[in-house]
Structure 1
Amino acid sequence: MSNPTFTFLNHACFMVRTESALLLADPWLEGTVLNDAWSLVDRSTSSAALIAALNGCGLPVFIWCSRAAPDRLSLPFLQRFQAEFRGIATFLHRQGRDWRLADELRRQRFALAACKDGQPVALGKDLRLTAFANGEADSWCLIQAGRRSILHLGERALGTRAACRAAAEHLRRRAPRIDVLLTGFADMAWCGNPDGFAQREEAAGQGIARLAMQAEVFRPRLLVPVASFARFARADNAWLNHGRRSPAGLLDAPRLETLRPLIRFMAPCDSIDLERDSPASLAARSEAAVARWVACWREPPPPLPRPPEASVTELRGAFQKYRERACARLYGLPRLLEAVRALRPLAIHLADLRQTVELSYRHGFRLLARDGPADVALCSGTALILLKAEDGYDTVYAGACFWTLRPDGLSAFARFFLPQRMARRGLDRRRPLVMARLMLRTALARMAREVGAALR
């Protein structure tokens, strides 16, 4: 009987193999995502090599997608997988309120299985996965391979000690001991303008504190960092790489001094025997992996160019179509929200055009004074993507290809494009009751924040 194995592939992607089944998680192995906004730190892996390995494994294949994001489910990988995979594959996703992932997989005509929150799903006689919600659209999971338990938290889940303790208590019945903890240490998120180095340093410290807290609560036998091996790749977001922690920087953090013996880095395609390997047996491989990652961190490729310049006329036309579509999908709700000042028009400075424009669901698109106040700044090509793509806001926000010009610029940006995000998640006229509940919760949460601020 062969032992179950864990193989790290790249960034957030890994594979767990037992005698009865193979689980692949969050496949992104090559190329860029988010319109070239992100690239892999190590570019040695390929979708073709992975698919060839899956074709030769002789096992049923399950593919777990933790959220509907291109670094978790790369569209080029899906297209190649559909054309080249010759076995039996089932895509797994958490059953929840975010329908984007299931809709995308159905469009690609893949076999799907929804994982109910907190309910184990048997993938084989010796492989199980239990999915849990992390907010509306994100997930974390427990993987049980033979006698071993793997807790996969990514870079977002269980960010507080209270949440970790509640999860640990809930998991204790299913997994008395966590053998391997998979968690991130360098979140890919917007954290300040080009001059906001202190803000990025603070975010990096929070990532280390989160990792330490999770290790202290769950007490794993082994901690493997994942989901932190991508970089901001474009000329209009590359500044965000400065201040992020590298693997060597993580190991040097004083907060992790007592945990260092448990932390083991893996290079792409490194494997662990889940029965036999230990932190001690993996020490030499971890040192080699850190050296490899440090070399990749120190030798970044030149920044990729930002999207081609768009004219004001193109942007005006794109916003007109966006506005009509958003209002039709939500029964005119965006106009109403703006009328009652729950939303306000968004002022955007187009840096490459040296022009400021205002977007309004009620009044449309208009030019402002070139040096007038604005909420956010971005390049015209990015603005065109923002307006034309169905997931334009998610792409631009995740890609972090913008900077703020007012203290509340980020929240104004997010609120204005709430209608697009709701429609993208299926929370529109297709699901009116769910849409209404979301809007009610959002309104109540905003009122609570305003009351809290007033009381303080």
Structure 2
Amino acid sequence: MASPTFTFLNHASFMVRTESALLLADPWLEGTVLDGAWSLADPSTSSAALIAELNSCGLPVYVWCSRATPDRLSLPFLRSFKADFRGIATFLYRQGRDWRLADELRRQRLALAECKDGQPLALGKDLRLTAFANGDADSWCLVQAGRRSILHLGERALGTRAACARAAVQLRRRAARIDLLLSGFADMAWCGNPDQFALREEAAAKGIARLALQIEVFRPRLVVPVAAFARFARADNAWLNHGRRSPAGVVDAPQLETARPLIRFLAPGGAIDLEQDSAASLGARSEAALAHWSACWRAAPAPLPRPPDAGLAELRAAFQKYRERAGASLHGLPRLLETVGALRPLAIQLADARQTVELSYRRGFRLLARDGPADVAMCSGTVLKLLKAEDGFDTAWAGGCFWELRPGGRPAFARFFLPQRMARRGLDRRRPLAMARLMLRAVLARMAREVQAALR
């Protein structure tokens, strides 16, 4: 009987293969995502090579998508897979309060299977997956391959001791121990303007502390870092790479000193025999992988150009259409929320045009004083994409292609584009009850913040 194997592919993507089935997770193998905002640290892998391997495996293939972001749900990969894969495949997802993932998979006409929260799903006689919620739109999972248990947390899940303790209780009912922990060490997120290096240092320290906490609570036999092998790639966000922890920095972190013998890095294509391999047997491969990733970190390419500049008239027309779409999909709710003060107009400084503009659901697009106060700054081309694309906010926010110009500017940016985010998640007039629940939670959360501020 062949041993089950784990293969690291790139960034957050990996495969688990047993005698009865093959599980592929979060495939992003080539190209950039988020309109060029992110690129892979190692761009050498390819979707075609992976699909050819899947075609030759002779097993039913399952593809786990942990969340609806381009680094986990790569549309170019889906299109290539649909065109070139010749076997039997089922895409797996956990349905939370975000319908983007399931809607996109259905749009691509791919076979789907929903993973109920906390309920094991048999993929084969020796392969099971159990998905768990991490907020509304994200998931973590337990993969059981033969006698071995793999805990996949990505770079966001279970970041506090309380969350880890709750998860440990859930896992004890399903797995006697965790043989392999997959977790990130450097979240791809906005963490300060170009001159705010201390914020990026703080974010890097939190990533290390999260990994140390997870190792302490779950006591895995082996730890393989994943989901952190990408970089901010554009001229208007590349500063976010400065201060991010490299793989070598993870190994040298004092907080991980006691766990260092368990942590093993893999280069793309690196495989583990889940029955035979151990932290000791993987030592040499890990050293080679660290050398590989260190070379990738040093060989950072020149930043990609930002989107082409946009004129004020073009931006005005784009916002008018955006405002009409948002009002139609949400029955005029954005204008009402701004009228009652739940939303406020957003002031954006156009960095390339040296102009400040105001976006308002009530008043439309207005020019403000050139040097007037603004919530955030970004390039005009980014603003145009933000207004025209269905996922404009998600792209700008996750890509970190903006600067915060005053305290509270970043949350004001997020609140203003709540209508776009709701429509993107399927929480519009198609699902009125879900939309109402989300709005009620948002209003209650805002009231709680105001009460806390008043009591300080």
Matches within 5 A, 1:51-70: 51-70=51-70
Structure-1 residue corresponding to 2:71:
71
2:113 alignment partner, SS class? strand
Instruction: Number of aligned residue pairs: give it.
Output: 456
Structure-1 residue corresponding to 2:362:
362
Deviations 1:234-272 (A, max 9, x none): 000000000000000111111100000000000000000
Deviations 1:369-411 (A, max 9, x none): 1111110000011001100011110010000000010111001
CA distance in 2, matches of 1:447, 1:360: 22
Structure-1 residue corresponding to 2:376:
376
Structure-2 residue corresponding to 1:98:
98
Structure-2 residue corresponding to 1:438:
438
1:269 matched to 2:264: no
Letter in 1 for 2:435: M
CA distance in 1, matches of 2:120, 2:313: 53
Q: CA deviation at 1:73?
A: 1.2
1:124 matched to 2:124: yes
Structure-1 residue corresponding to 2:193:
193
Structure-2 residue corresponding to 1:22:
22
1:190 alignment partner, SS class? coil
Structure-1 residue corresponding to 2:448:
448
CA distance in 1, matches of 2:72, 2:183: 14
CA distance in 2, matches of 1:320, 1:367: 14
Q: CA deviation at 1:173?
A: 1.1
Structure-2 residue corresponding to 1:254:
254
Letter in 2 for 1:142: L
Q: CA deviation at 1:99?
A: 0.6
2:365 alignment partner, SS class? strand
2:169 alignment partner, SS class? helix
Structure-2 residue corresponding to 1:36:
36
Matches within 5 A, 1:160-175: 160-175=160-175
CA distance in 1, matches of 2:135, 2:258: 31
Aligned residues of 2:338 and 2:361 also touching (Cα < 8 A): yes
Matches within 5 A, 1:375-414: 375-414=375-414
CA distance in 2, matches of 1:455, 1:370: 37
CA distance in 2, matches of 1:277, 1:284: 12
CA distance in 1, matches of 2:336, 2:330: 10
Q: CA deviation at 1:453?
A: 2.2
Q: CA deviation at 1:447?
A: 1.1
Structure-2 residue corresponding to 1:283:
283
1:336 matched to 2:336: yes
1:14 alignment partner, SS class? strand
CA distance in 2, matches of 1:232, 1:39: 7
Q: CA deviation at 1:452?
A: 1.9
Report % sequence identity. 82
Deviations 1:139-174 (A, max 9, x none): 000000000000000000011001001100111010
Q: What is the TM-score normalised by the length of structure 2?
A: 0.99
Aligned residues of 2:95 and 2:102 also touching (Cα < 8 A): no
2:173 alignment partner, SS class? coil
Gaps of 5+ in 2: none
Letter in 2 for 1:141: C
CA distance in 2, matches of 1:313, 1:19: 60
CA distance in 2, matches of 1:390, 1:369: 30
Structure-2 residue corresponding to 1:295:
295
Deviations 1:3-27 (A, max 9, x none): 0000000000000000000000000
Q: CA deviation at 1:449?
A: 1.8
CA distance in 1, matches of 2:136, 2:108: 23
Structure-1 residue corresponding to 2:159:
159
Gaps of 5+ in 1: none
CA distance in 2, matches of 1:291, 1:389: 40
CA distance in 1, matches of 2:404, 2:98: 28
Structure-1 residue corresponding to 2:305:
305
CA distance in 1, matches of 2:170, 2:259: 24
Aligned residues of 2:181 and 2:222 also touching (Cα < 8 A): yes
Q: CA deviation at 1:190?
A: 0.1
1:268 alignment partner, SS class? coil
Q: CA deviation at 1:96?
A: 1.7
2:163 alignment partner, SS class? helix
Q: Which runs of 4+ in 1 moved over 2 A?
A: none
CA distance in 1, matches of 2:439, 2:378: 28
Deviations 1:407-440 (A, max 9, x none): 1100100000000000100111111111111111
2:257 alignment partner, SS class? helix
Q: CA deviation at 1:84?
A: 0.4
1:29 alignment partner, SS class? coil
CA distance in 2, matches of 1:439, 1:259: 43
CA distance in 2, matches of 1:228, 1:454: 39
Structure-2 residue corresponding to 1:2:
2
Letter in 2 for 1:394: D
Matches within 5 A, 1:312-323: 312-323=312-323
Q: Considering only aligned residues, what root-mean-square deviation do their CA atoms show, in Å?
A: 0.6
Q: What is the TM-score normalised by the length of structure 1?
A: 0.99
Letter in 1 for 2:56: G
CA distance in 1, matches of 2:388, 2:283: 49
CA distance in 1, matches of 2:339, 2:173: 51
Q: CA deviation at 1:354?
A: 1.0
Deviations 1:330-389 (A, max 9, x none): 111101110111110000011111111100000000111111111000001100110001
1:116 alignment partner, SS class? coil
